[in-house]
Structure 1
Amino acid sequence: MASRVLFTTLNNTKNKTLTADWLVTLASTRAYCSTPNPENRNNLHSRINAVRDPNFSVAPVLQQWVKEGKDIKQFQLQRIIRDLRSRRRYTHALEVSKWMSSSGLEFSSSDSAVQLDLIGRVDGLSAAENFFSSLKDQDKTVKTYGALLNCYVREGLIDESLAIMKKMKEMGFLSSPLTYNDLMCLYTNTGRLEKVPDVLFEMKVNGVSPDKFSYKICINSYGARGDYNNMENVLREMGSQWHIQMDWGTYSVVANYYVKAGLKEKAIHYLKECEKNVSKDALGYDHLISSYAHLGNTYEMKRLWDLQKSKCKKQTNQNYIVMLGSLVKLGEFEEAEKLLDEWESSCKTYDFRVPNVLLIGYCQKGLVEKAEAKLQDIIKRRKIAIPNCWSIIATGYMNKNNMDKAFECFKEALAMEAENQGWRPKESLISSILSWLGENGEVEDAEAFVKLLRIKVPANREMYHALLKAYIRNGKEVEGLLESMKGDEIDEDEETIKVLSLRDRNS
């Protein structure tokens, strides 16, 4: 349960930098990111896991299991629920929890707390409150109160959270740091960072020892407000606690605030402290490499990359993406090309996200022709690229006002529907090409493009306006097009009237 509020903080915070820093913190703590090994799952677990669509119920799977005469143990269902929650499959997790509570199996206050949290996620706060009210007094424990508090924190409700905290204090339920951490996350999520240190102080006054997350949230609150002295004071206090083992993520958070503030010496000092604690954690090296890229230090980036390769068993695609992105950021394209060659020679599956980093870098520097040549070379040596590759090139040409090439490249992307069903083109690129087609394109080109586009994007006013402009410029009747527009339930607006007025000018 300790991870629940911290992930809420990550998902809900309005501070983008804060989210990135907390990813560093959480990623370094394996206990809060692990999922069960598929090889250890029993058959029931596998059957439930196979039901991916949240619109399909998993209850029949459980009923069939019982019908086959097989036993279901409490710990089996608890493990399944835990796995489903870790995968954010909350609807199915709630189904299993409800089945468990109605099946006659033992259902503890911990199980009730989990169900309450799931009800809040799936059915909303009101349903969670009703469930809590329906619990027997003996089931209203520190865990169920904590679950209700977490629902309020997730919704950003300060008054309700404080009221629950007060009730928990009266009942003697504020003996662990978890509840205080919830409140600190709430203040973080709602932008009241100045309140976070007060909660840490209250914890200590009440005789509750802060844990590592308590300190990290407070360190973050000071860093986000630029109060670096107090940030370091809390860091030193954290390091003096016998029960807390310092990790690289904490030092990385502190270092990142100094990097953003342009305090290079301080940043390097804490990056060195971070490195001392990385050991064989590839993610830690990724963060170090990215931080030194922000400082413009190519030497340290390369040193840490070599160290990562020697310390860690293997480099994943994500590791290569980080290093490639760092090299591209500093304009080290020759080194980036060599690194891409190294990755290509060792990769088992060609993941186009890796070369895309280089393609984006070239396009951002205005070297879109080089990016296209690189993509064409990859296609010759490998396979058909994913749509996003061509979309990157199209965007590069758009930014150079070469709309003919942007149009051709984007058509390549749209024609590759089968390669990436989940791909969604950028609205800005679509708008630019539609506008260009309306002003300059041939009717056949505009029609073919809109036909391709409608496979990915529902028909909209912008598509019809582009077609109307192309029709009118080329002297083609638009009545049929206007009928189709009505058929798609798109009413004429002022812009439509302006487009149609072009007929009078051309007549």
Structure 2
Amino acid sequence: MWALRRASIPLRSPGFSIGISRVSCAKLEILSPSIEEDKAGTLESPQEAFDRCLYLKRFYHTTCRSSNVFVVRQFSSQAGAKSSGEEDDLEDGFSELEMPSSAKANQDGNVEDESDDELISEPELSDDGVDIEERSQNELELLDSETDPSEKKVVKKWAQSALFKAILDAPGLSIHNALDKWVEEGNDLSRAEISLAVLNLRKRRMYGRALQLSEWLEVNKHLDFVERDYASRLDLIAKVHGLQKAESYIEKIPKSFRGEVIYRTLMANCAVANNIKKAEDIFNKMKDLGFPISSFACNQLLLLYKRIDKKKIADVLLLMEKENVKPTPFTYKLLIDTKGQSNDITGMDQIVQTMKAEGFEPDIHTQAILVKHYTSGGLKDKAEAILKEMEGDNLKDRRVCRVLLPLYAQLGKADDVSRVWKVCESSPRLEECMAAIDAWGKLKKIEEAEAVFDRMSKTWQKLTSKHYSVLLKVYANHKMLAKGKDLIKRMGDSGCRIGPLTWDALVKLYVEAGEVEKADSILQKAAQHNQLKPMFSSYMTIMEQYAKRGDVHNTEKAFHRMRQAGYVGRLRQFQALIQAYINAKAPAYGIKDRMKADNVFPNRALAAQLVHVDAFRKTAMSDLLD
């Protein structure tokens, strides 16, 4: 333990400390070892520090305290649910977190009206290598753990409520008149009916209307608010108006209801926004208020550090060991994926063994992560063995099909993709169709992908931009600009509303066709004339293209527009920006100060980049001239 602690303290990272001792006078801090500006090579690597924590002799054998987490479908970033394996379906639009078994997705394949609300944003399908399956996990754990026992039977069925239908049919932006009429007609306004309506609104990412419903209920005193109702409001405010408005709302919540659930909710939204500093501040605030350190909070930090700063993962693991916080299945899933991303297959396998020793069997999505990393690591035999295990003796479990399709495609197994699709073909579900289109696209079988899309469009009359975007991405990946334009026209003719997913596919389509300026123009217009925020990956696609050209001016403009859109400075953005200066053979004055202002500290790769853009760097020739 002492060796581990020493490994965690090479350098302090300004502005970040998490106290973890509540019983002793001494305050141990989680330190974020960052790299000194010109001494990047002297520190223990993040991988080594990570390994030290993973191979502790006692890997968290104690149990953690149970706590009621606020349940709401579409909560931003939750982690820590225990999955029984009863149901592992994904729902697009969830954030990167843990999915509990009890939340049952729509299994009949019937598409319902999923038209986007005026104030919602489509989910990101990819962000810095983040898998959409990881995003999905957290949302439903909130649903499972917070819903009143009396409501759970209804919630699990995801039945539509009459109140939800009335809200859906309300014309215009405001739903207040429809709600007033609902009450005047003497309709049911019980807590169960309200909860079901909110859950259906969240399922369709109609956060604006869900927020209006919450506000109307409180103003008209139709519901006695408890902590989970305030937490629901807080979450909706964060989704619709951003973190700053959500944080301000906490002060309006009565102190008696300002418990752990409230701060967890805000921390969850910080994780979705990739705002490390705010998440760490809330973590410390929860500790200062005397709330127990939970697996939920630790998983939020692990999730953020996995994406942005892997050096700090070891600190969180040490914290969990010291505080006797037992890891959840999602904790293991994060660590498995982190090891896989680092190409440490041996370490990944050891975590799986530890997970099983602790009584957790990898669920279907954890197995999918393993297959992905085995495939990228060239271990196709191991990948195929897991796929066969996932598939079982037959494919009666249709939940597995949409996971298997893209994984077999990644392995280049066209025959297996065809075999699995035949199981679904007679009565396909929407998610299976989308997975098949993606799979055929990966196999460069464009006609097959188009055939599935045509089948999907004939089966369901009203498709959303999410469904069109899958085929649009196939066209983009294969530089089929003409077909992409035709599909966009088809979307417009169908009355489909275009949102961030479509913009992202369009950006990639034009970039792959070599028309970067056109892609940039599309993104700028989308950002200026719509209430929805473009995806992080859309900006990065354009920014990285300008950086390749050494176009510092346009790279800086793209960087600035990302900040205006609310994407705070991150490592990947600075890597692209610095690369632009490197390719332009120009010094980047003040770049280190800019990074410090955003609390971004270089890893080894970025530190190596910084050397090339340091205007005051000493070289052998400059010493001679001096």
Deviations 1:249-307 (A, max 9, x none): 1111111012123332332233334334996443522332322222223344344445x
Distance 1:31 1:250, change over 3 A: farther
What is the rounded CA distance, in whole Å, between the counterparts of 2:309 and 2:399 in structure 1? 30
* Counterpart contact for 2:433–2:453, Cα < 8 Å: no
Counterpart residue number, 1:140: 258
Q: How far off its partner does 1:21 sit? A: 5.2
Q: Which residue of 2 aligns with 1:250?
A: 366
1:17 to 126, 129, 132: 129
Q: Does residue 315 in structure 1 map to residue 428 in structure 2? A: yes
**1:124 and 2:242 matched:** yes
Q: 1:154 aligns with which of 248, 272, 275?
A: 272
TM-superposed deviation, 1:321: 5.5
Matched, 1:167 2:280: no
TM-superposed deviation, 1:107: 0.6
- The aligned runs of 1:136-285 (5 Å cut-off) are 136-174=254-292, 176-189=294-307, 191-242=308-359, 244-276=360-392, 280-285=396-401
Cα shift readout 1:227-249 (whole Å, capped 9, x = no counterpart): 2222222222222333x453111
CA distance in 1, matches of 2:209, 2:246: 17
Pair 1:41–1:20, CA change in 2 (3 A) = closer
Give 1:128 shift: 1.8
In structure 1, the gaps of 5 or more residues are 369-390, 396-409, 436-457, 459-507
Residue 224 of structure 2 corresponds to residue 112 of structure 1: no
Aligned equivalent of 2:213:
96
Corresponding residue for residue 556 of structure 2: none
CA, structure 1 residues 420+77, in 2 after alignment: closer, same or farther (shift >3 Å)? closer
Provide the C-alpha distance between the structure 2 equivalents of 1:293 and 1:269, rounded to a whole number of angstroms: 15
Distance change >3 Å, CA 82–CA 197, structure 1 → 2: farther
Superposition TM-score, scaled by structure 2 size: 0.51
Quote the Cα distance in structure 1 between the aligned partners of 2:441 and 2:272. 38
- 2:95/2:134 contact within 8 Å kept: no
Taking a change above 3 Å as real, the CA distance of residues 165 and 102 of structure 1, as seen in their structure-2 partners, is: same
Q: Which has the higher contact order (CA 8 A, sep 6+)?
A: 2
* SS of equivalent to 1:18: coil
Q: Distance in 2 between matches of 1:98 and 1:313?
A: 45
- Please state how far the C-alpha of 1:95 moved relative to its aligned partner: 1.4
For residues 326-475 of structure 1, what are the structure 2 equivalents within 5 Å?
A: 326=439, 329-330=442-443, 336=448, 340=451, 348=459, 392-393=482-483, 418-420=493-495, 422=497
- Rounded to whole Å, the distance in 1 between the matches of 2:415 and 2:295 is 42
- Give 1:188's aligned amino acid: K
Ranges in structure 2 where 5+ consecutive residues have no aligned partner: 1-69, 79-93, 98-122, 145-151, 516-528, 530-626
Q: Percent identity?
A: 24
Residue 443 of structure 1 aligns with which residue?
A: none
Aligned letter for 1:113? A
Shift in alpha-carbon separation, 1:174–1:26, aligned structure 2, 3 A = closer
| Partner residue of 2:405 out of 272, 281, 289 | 289
Aligned partner of 2:167 in structure 1 is: 48
Task: Quote the Cα distance in structure 2 between the aligned partners of 1:285 and 1:167.
Answer: 44
- Residue 262 of structure 1 aligns to a residue whose secondary structure is coil
How far is 1:133 from its partner?
1.9
Kindly indicate whether the alpha-carbon contact (under 8 Å) linking 1:94 and 1:118 is maintained by their aligned counterparts in 2: yes
Read off the aligned partner of 1:43 and give its amino acid letter: A
Which amino acid is the alignment partner of residue 258 of structure 1? Y
User: Which has the greater radius of gyration?
Assistant: 1
Distance 1:305 1:62, change over 3 A: closer
| Greater helix fraction, Structure 1 or Structure 2 | 1
> How far has the Cα of 1:329 moved from its partner?
4.7
Normalised TM-score (structure 1)? 0.61
Name the CA shift for 1:418/1:290 in 2 (closer, same or farther; >3 Å). Answer: closer
Deviates more, 1:208-217 or 1:73-82: 73-82
State the secondary structure of the residue aligned to 1:17: coil
Matches of 1:413 and 1:343 in 2, distance apart? 15
**C-alpha spacing 1:160/1:71, structure 2 compared with 1 (3 Å):** same
Q: Check the 8 A contact 1:145/1:168 in 2, yes or no.
A: yes
- The alignment covers a number of residue pairs equal to 386
Structure 1 residues 60 and 126, CA gap change in structure 2 (3 angstroms): same
Map residues 3-42 of structure 1 onto 2, 5 A cutoff. 4-5=76-77, 7-9=94-96, 11=123, 15-20=127-132, 22=134, 40-42=159-161
Contact persistence 1:293–1:330 (CA under 8 A): yes
Q: Is the 8 A contact 2:164 2:197 kept in 1?
A: yes
**Contact 2:96-2:136 at 8 Å conserved across structures:** no
What amino acid is the match of 1:121? Answer: K
Which residue of the partner structure matches residue 566 of structure 2?
A: none
Which one of the candidate residues 65, 68, 72 is aligned to 2:182? 65
Aligned-partner SS, 2:130:
helix
- Given the superposition, is the C-alpha separation of residues 74 and 320 from structure 1 closer, same or farther in structure 2, using an over 3 Å criterion? closer
- Distance across 1 between alignment mates of 2:167 and 2:457: 36
- Equivalences for residues 79-90 of structure 1 within 5 A: 79-90=196-207
